[in-house]
Amino acid sequence: MLATVVIVLIIWAFMLMPESGGFYTSLEEALQHPRAVGRLYLRDKQLSEVPPEIQQLKNLWGLYLTGNHISHLPEWLVTNRRIVSLWLCNDEIIEFPLEITRMENLGRLELGGNSIATIPPAIGRLRRLDILNLDYNQITNLPIEIRNFRSMEYLYLHNNRLRELPPEFGELERLTYCVLDGNSLSALPPEVGKLKHLERLSLIGNQLSRLPHEMEKLESWNISG
């Protein structure tokens, strides 16, 4: 029952995203109206690769491939500058697909529920990201290149293996909502106090004994943990 509710909520959120374009849950139907397709939702289709027929969808901007077995992205997809939203959750991904870092127009990237342990420095190329979801992976650290995420507003890193955050975390100047539950953080860098737009920071299930006094400078924020 809970799984059904979650799926319905995800579809609802995907459909209500502000960009224009028709929403399709069937590739066959989408191919009948290729120029009308803005968002394509292909969850749990047992896909081992991205269907090449998707190339025919010239106005596609959102691609949802969660619950499949896709670990690599084809050249034609990573060079498609129209794609701004990409979902690859629960796809049995072991290594961060480096080719994603070439998709520099991405605004939303969802990679939760995989087995990713390392985030490559090249992720810093994705300067337009405002939503990044890496929850339920095995990530041990974040590269300093996250400082390039000047547009980042929502960051989900819960249930990983983080022991520390780099000082560059404080350069995510537009960060509003951040979830770090279920990691192994014992301290936060003082630079977190620079996050002036931070409204919500969740730290449940970590090993924190105190917060940096620099966070007292933040005018409006809530914390869980």
> Quick one: the chain helix, strand, coil %, rounded to 5?
30, 15, 60
pTM of the entire predicted model: 0.89
| Overall size of the chain counted in residues | 225
Tell me what pLDDT residue 17 has. Answer: 45
pLDDT digits (tens, 9 = 90+) for 4-43: 444 444 544 544 444 457 999 999 999 999 999 999 999 9
Mean pLDDT within 97-102: 97
Q: Answer yes or no: are the C-beta atoms of 125 and 100 closer than 8 Å.
A: no
pLDDT digits (tens, 9 = 90+) for 37-66: 999 999 999 999 999 999 999 999 999 999
Token duo for residue 148: 């390039």
Q: Answer yes or no: are the C-beta atoms of 188 and 212 closer than 8 Å.
A: yes
The one-letter amino acid at 193: G
Q: What SS3 state is found at 34?
A: helix
DSSP tag of 62: E
pLDDT digits (tens, 9 = 90+) for 130-186: 999 999 999 999 999 999 999 999 999 999 999 999 999 999 999 999 999 999 999
Tell me what pLDDT residue 8 has. Answer: 43
Pick the CATH number of 2-224 from 3.30.365.10, 3.40.640.10, 3.80.10.10, 1.20.1080.10: 3.80.10.10
